[in-house]
Structure 1
Amino acid sequence: MKKGADMKIAGKAACIFVLLTITKLTRITGNRMAAQAGHSAVMACSHRTRATMVTWKISPKIGGPCTLVFRADQEKVYRTNCSDSVKSEFKPEQFYALEIQQVGMADEGNYSCELVNQEGNFYQMYQLTVLVPPRLSLYCDNHSIPVCEAAAGRPAAEILWVPENSSTTEIDSHDNGTVTVLSRFTAHSTNRKTVTCKVYHATLNETMSTDCSSSQSDLILYITIALGFLIIITFMAVIYYFKLHGCRLCHKTKPPDTSLTHSLEDDTTEVEPYTTYVQKENTIYNSVSDLTGGQNLP
């Protein structure tokens, strides 16, 4: 019995020793990492050197897994299902770092590295989050209400107003994981004409100001109405001017038609020689008749 008990104690001690050894030789650390879209992300594997083998495993949220294996004895890197944007030179002075160039939404996911050397196995894990800076705008709506918008950002931006007063916020989530935040400044009791919108995001902190006071909007409205009336009056005056001068031209006395007079004069001129000729013929005829008649008398 005593022998059996001693054997059990020895077995437990051996198990504890093995577990302690494994714990000592195997160290797992995890980090959360954020990278801005369009920039590069660099993740170090381990500060240990003289690695005999280094393995990077990538499990993105979109797409299949990727594996890169470096073997020091062969000085060669084996890639499996990895895009060209995933690069690593596996240099000890760079801690066998992995670089993701031009980070995009598809690169978000889990990254794990295993380094093997004479001291044991060492693990490093990263959870990569991609940040997208929002597009900012501040404007006045049709009711002269200031509107501050942070569009297509990731994560959602936070919007605050100065002076601090009541506001309404609308949040719209998009299919690509980005979020648009729209805030309206609804306070009308403030005496300040200029309001300030402050946008807080992991990639930026911006402050924008605008003046949507009613006096300014009324002035613009009055100027627009005045210009409209001026254009209408000018247009009517031009129409009246052309209409008036057109009627005057229509009522002017037409010049006499001399073509008929010239025609009559020409006809008279053409007829007069013929009349003179006929008269002469008649005179000669009468003279001859008188002579003939005188000779025939007894």
Structure 2
Amino acid sequence: MKIAGKTLCVFVLLTITKAARTAGIKTVSVTVGNNSVLTCPPNSNVTMVTWKIMPKVGGACALGYRADQNKTDRTNCSGSMDWKFTPDCNPALEIQQVGITHEGKYICEVVTTDGNFDKKYHLIVLVPPRLTLSCDVEGNPVCEAAAGKPAAQISWVPESNSSPENKSHDNETVTVLSRFTAESTNLTTTTCIVSHLAGNQSKSITCHPSDNSNNLHIYIPLCFLSIIALLAVIYSFKLYSDRLCHKTKPPETDPVHFPEDDTTEVEPYTTYVQKENTVYCSVSDLTLGQNIPHGLSPAR
């Protein structure tokens, strides 16, 4: 119980401290691209004025003025931030062409002969979204509120039961997308209403779900049939090529006879003829020797 009591006390003290710190801060909203003027506490007998600027992005900067020296100075502040008039007359701060980088805390500290006073601001930069309204491929209206800060709210006339989709960006802007859906399919004209702190916008459009759906039913079968026909052509061409390769054979070539083969085949016959001639010559010589008279020898 004691631990729980101490924890509750700490929580209450932190809440009170945070409330005390933010109680004196004034929130100012300005649309991006516009000018903004922040004023200091109204006091007379001003001796010194200081603007302390602490943006959410980037480093801090300061503008100062000293009445005793009638001198102004600046530290790390861009040219878009300067005194509205002259600091001795009106030490208000003017921000020209406000951008997202200008968002943050602004404190004016005034030193007078009556004491010290300050005024704190929390500057919020609003970015109006870009509204686009179109029909998707199915003929449904689609509304987009792009790059708004903060996120926009989208509603439909007639009412739609769709849920919006949010996409956050690095510069703290948000894109909201909503697709119109309704139970009735006979609706032709719909209106998208975008609600935003920087201003409301609306657009109307006429879509034809029936025509688009019919076209979709036609395109899908046609694509399917085209793919089947292409596959059939490829298969037929491949089958024809395979048959053509099987039918075509290389021509048979006659065996090549080299000269040495002919010589080998003829040589036995030549030898046989020579041998036969030798035999015939011997017989002839023998016959002639028998018919020659004694004492004569056959001529050689």
Identify whether the pair has TM-score above 0.5, normalized to the shorter chain.
yes
CA distance in structure 2 between the aligned counterparts of 1:106 and 1:277, rounded to whole angstroms: 122
Instruction: Using the TM superposition, give the Cα deviation of residue 95 of structure 1 relative to its aligned residue in structure 2, in angstroms.
Output: 4.4
Q: Report the equivalent of 1:270.
A: 263
Relative to 1, partners in 2 of residues 1:49 and 1:40: Cα closer, same or farther, differing over 3 Å?
Answer: farther
TM-score normalized with structure 1 length: 0.62
Q: Report the equivalent of 2:3.
A: none
Q: Report the equivalent of 1:153.
A: 148
Q: Report the equivalent of 2:190.
A: 195
Relative to 1, partners in 2 of residues 1:115 and 1:95: Cα closer, same or farther, differing over 3 Å?
Answer: farther
Q: Report the equivalent of 1:286.
A: 279
**Does the alignment pair 1:236 with 2:232?**
yes
Q: Number of paired residues?
A: 260
Q: Report the equivalent of 2:21.
A: none
Structure 2's unaligned 5+ residue stretches are: 1-24, 295-300
Relative to 1, partners in 2 of residues 1:112 and 1:173: Cα closer, same or farther, differing over 3 Å?
Answer: farther
Name which of structure 1's ranges 127-136 and 171-180 shifts more when overlaid on structure 2.
Answer: 171-180
Instruction: Using the TM superposition, give the Cα deviation of residue 296 of structure 1 relative to its aligned residue in structure 2, in angstroms.
Output: 6.4
Relative to 1, partners in 2 of residues 1:123 and 1:268: Cα closer, same or farther, differing over 3 Å?
Answer: closer
Cα contact 1:44–1:95 (8 A) shared by 2: no
The amino acid of 1:251's aligned partner reads: K
Q: Which residue of 11, 36, 43 maps to 2:31?
A: 36
Relative to 1, partners in 2 of residues 1:83 and 1:213: Cα closer, same or farther, differing over 3 Å?
Answer: farther
CA distance in structure 1 between the aligned counterparts of 2:59 and 2:229, rounded to whole angstroms: 71
Instruction: Using the TM superposition, give the Cα deviation of residue 230 of structure 1 relative to its aligned residue in structure 2, in angstroms.
Output: 0.7
Relative to 1, partners in 2 of residues 1:98 and 1:139: Cα closer, same or farther, differing over 3 Å?
Answer: same
Instruction: Using the TM superposition, give the Cα deviation of residue 48 of structure 1 relative to its aligned residue in structure 2, in angstroms.
Output: 10
TM-score normalized with structure 2 length: 0.61
Q: Which residue of 85, 98, 104 maps to 2:100?
A: 104
Q: Give the percent of matched residue pairs that are identical in Structure 1 and Structure 2.
A: 32
Q: Report the equivalent of 1:7.
A: none
Aligned residue for 2:190, secondary structure, equals strand
Cα contact 2:110–2:116 (8 A) shared by 1: yes
Cα contact 2:62–2:76 (8 A) shared by 1: no
Aligned residue for 1:167, secondary structure, equals coil
Q: Report the equivalent of 1:84.
A: 77
5 Å matches for 1:1-298?
33-37=28-32, 39=33, 41-43=35-37, 45=39, 53-58=48-53, 68-77=63-72, 83-85=76-78, 87-89=81-83, 91-92=85-86, 95-100=90-95, 103-104=99-100, 107-109=103-105, 111-112=107-108, 114=110, 127-134=122-129, 136=131, 138=133, 145-150=140-145, 153-162=148-157, 164-170=158-164, 181-203=176-198, 205=201, 207=203, 209=205, 211=207, 213-252=209-248, 254-258=250-254, 260=255, 262-263=256-257, 269-271=262-264, 273-274=266-267, 277-294=270-287, 295=289
Name which of structure 1's ranges 121-130 and 282-291 shifts more when overlaid on structure 2.
Answer: 121-130
CA distance in structure 1 between the aligned counterparts of 2:249 and 2:163, rounded to whole angstroms: 77
The amino acid of 2:86's aligned partner reads: P
Structure 1's unaligned 5+ residue stretches are: 1-29
